[in-house]
Structure 1
Amino acid sequence: MNLYIIDTGLFKLDGGAMFGVVPKTIWSKTNPADENNLCTLAMRCLLIEDGDRLILIDTGIGNKQDEKFFSHYYLQGDDSLDSSLAALGFSANDITDIFLTHLHFDHVGGAVKRDGDTLIPAFKNATYWSNRQHWDWAVNPNAREKASFLKENILPIEQSGQLKFVDVQDGVRFTDNIHIRFINGHTKAMMLPLITYKGKQILYVADLVPTVGHIPLPYIPAYDMFPLTTLDEKKKILDDAAEKEFILFFEHDAVNECCTVQQTEKGVRLKQVFKLTDI
């Protein structure tokens, strides 16, 4: 089994939205903002080579939206989904499975591409994995979350016949080496893969803990639909991570790829940061 980072570029989001009720004087120490109060974030995906399966977790923002859409997010860097795959000797056609933690545009945008005037799956040989509860939530979005669920990112997957659903049951097995934790605070039924690798457990934390700066419990983005649910879920998972020595893999931290956490008198806090290749 091999794990590879797939960098798909950097973007910016409002710092206040990223940290909710936490004052800027505190959160800016770990996530400095620019003159427009925007923080730089990664869109770091994970490629898992496991036997005859090549599994890609999330796909970044993609490149099919118009200039006006991208102008809101200040895309940066030279990395892209295709270039990162190519640097490892892979192509989109090699991917057997696309595991979508959830269907917000910065996680699923690269799953669909334009072919002339048509929208088609970017990975023609892959099965796309979501779950029924989250899928229904995304295709019938509430007014607050509607801007994050773009139909052009989602509906072509179903129309292609490549979409499958996993059972919504915490700890359900995806493969022998990947189990799924379900989270409902950020959005309904977000899926976090827990990967067994080299005798360790790596939790892909997606938007539950976007960056190292979000480890303290109250540091919850205003984007979360149910922040008190996030608070409970985050405590449970971080307590597990400290006790069982999980490695947290960050999708959005522009600087840190992985970390471990530990219990302190102030609660769970950062223990050590390191690169995936250091494992």
Structure 2
Amino acid sequence: MENLELETVKLRWMSGGETHLDGGAMFGVVPKPLWTRKYAVNDKNQIKLRTDPILIQAEGKNFLVESGMGNGKLNEKQKRNYGVMEESNLDAELDLLGLTVADIDYVLMTHMHFDHACGLTKEVNGELESVFVNAKIITSQIEWDEMRNPNIRSRSTYWKENWLGIEQQVETFEKEWSFGPLKMIHTGGHSDGHSILIVEDGNATVVHMADIMPTHAHQNPLWVMAYDDYPMDSIYAKQKWLEFGISRNAWFTFYHDSVYRAVQFNEDGKIRDSISREE
């Protein structure tokens, strides 16, 4: 369980599952000889991607960034198609910290694609129920609207099984949402409602760009996923927030990266410092 401690804020990476997705889709129009220099690929052209929520403890509250893959949400065909080799281990890891899912005060959803939202609900006696029963679930209004009414492209990733049962807990925002040192900012790009998370704690800054920079290998603003609905918005937002973070020596944190939990870039875009994921 890797940690990043700021001045008063602590981040911990939890184990939320793992997928293996097509590398070409994950790097879009970038030629394979280029992206394979930066991120490992298997003989099926798949890259390993984590789905690991980040537990943030700040202001006496427990925040969870994303919800992981959950357990038992995917059938065998879906597991095969998405290369799911591992589901969530969140309960056990929270237990090691003396916590349960009932102790989570806020779940911060940068967007609600299935690989981020499967952990929000569970089936109990044939009914879908909330996993984080005492939490407020925060996402942008645009994202919440599309989650419940997906279009022909997005309905493959916005599943009713991931929102039925949590409707009363969801709180939405238009442009920004904040609590103490945490701020969510709507960017669009990967999805129309996609948001990022900024943590500013004294002199320390964290920039969590979610799926507009899903791994350290996506640092180049032009390297965007084929999955992005609005790639030019992704490019604009990534460029803007990279400049913001690098100017503040920020930690850039990841939900999907199988190599790094967080990195700091220097002005030349090289990794200055990092927190590696422990196998």
Give CA-to-partner distance per residue, 1:229-277, whole Å, 9 cap, x none: 211111111111222222100111101011112333xxxx233242289
2:171 corresponds to which of 164, 170, 183? 164
Structure 1 residue 205 and structure 2 residue 209: aligned? yes
1:107 corresponds to which of 105, 108, 116? 116
- 1:226 offset after TM fit, Å? 0.8
Structure 1 residue 12 and structure 2 residue 16: aligned? no
* Cα pair distance change 1:129/1:79, threshold 3 Å: closer
- Which deviates more, 122-131 or 190-199? 190-199
Aligned pairs for 1:67-86 (under 5 A) are 67-77=76-86, 80-86=89-95
Q: Which whole-Å CA distance do the structure 2 matches of 1:76 and 1:273 have between them?
A: 30
SS at match of 1:189: coil
Q: Which whole-Å CA distance do the structure 2 matches of 1:215 and 1:51 have between them?
A: 31
2:260 corresponds to which of 227, 248, 256? 256
2:55 corresponds to which of 42, 47, 52? 47
Q: Which whole-Å CA distance do the structure 2 matches of 1:145 and 1:59 have between them?
A: 19
> Partner amino acid for 1:163?
V
Structure 1 runs of 4+ with >4 Å offset: none
Give CA-to-partner distance per residue, 1:57-89, whole Å, 9 cap, x none: 101121222222222122235862222222322
* Cα pair distance change 1:261/1:105, threshold 3 Å: same
What is aligned with 2:270?
Answer: 270
SS at match of 2:212: coil
Tell whether the 8 Å contact from 2:18 to 2:51 is kept in structure 1 after alignment. Answer: yes
Give CA-to-partner distance per residue, 1:95-137, whole Å, 9 cap, x none: 1111111110011110111112000101111111122221112
Tell whether the 8 Å contact from 1:257 to 1:273 is kept in structure 2 after alignment. Answer: no
- 1:3 offset after TM fit, Å? 2.0
> Partner amino acid for 2:251?
I
Aligned length: 268
Tell whether the 8 Å contact from 1:205 to 1:251 is kept in structure 2 after alignment. Answer: no
> Partner amino acid for 2:227?
Y
Structure 1 residue 30 and structure 2 residue 34: aligned? no
Tell whether the 8 Å contact from 1:85 to 1:92 is kept in structure 2 after alignment. Answer: yes
Gaps of 5+ in 2: 1-8
> Partner amino acid for 1:30?
K
1:144 corresponds to which of 140, 147, 153? 153
* Cα pair distance change 1:108/1:241, threshold 3 Å: same
> Partner amino acid for 1:55?
F
What is aligned with 1:123?
Answer: 132
Tell whether the 8 Å contact from 2:79 to 2:85 is kept in structure 1 after alignment. Answer: no
Tell whether the 8 Å contact from 2:28 to 2:226 is kept in structure 1 after alignment. Answer: yes
Tell whether the 8 Å contact from 1:185 to 1:227 is kept in structure 2 after alignment. Answer: yes
What's the TM-score once normalised by structure 2's chain length? Answer: 0.90
Tell whether the 8 Å contact from 1:45 to 1:59 is kept in structure 2 after alignment. Answer: yes
SS at match of 2:69: coil
* Cα pair distance change 1:62/1:35, threshold 3 Å: same
* Cα pair distance change 1:79/1:272, threshold 3 Å: farther
Gaps of 5+ in 1: none
Tell whether the 8 Å contact from 2:24 to 2:45 is kept in structure 1 after alignment. Answer: yes
Give CA-to-partner distance per residue, 1:188-238, whole Å, 9 cap, x none: 121211112463110112101011110012211000001112111111111
What is aligned with 2:5?
Answer: none
Structure 1 residue 134 and structure 2 residue 151: aligned? no
- 1:173 offset after TM fit, Å? 4.5
- 1:181 offset after TM fit, Å? 2.2
SS at match of 1:4: strand
What is aligned with 1:178?
Answer: 182
What is aligned with 2:237?
Answer: 233
What's the TM-score once normalised by structure 1's chain length? Answer: 0.90
* Cα pair distance change 1:70/1:77, threshold 3 Å: closer
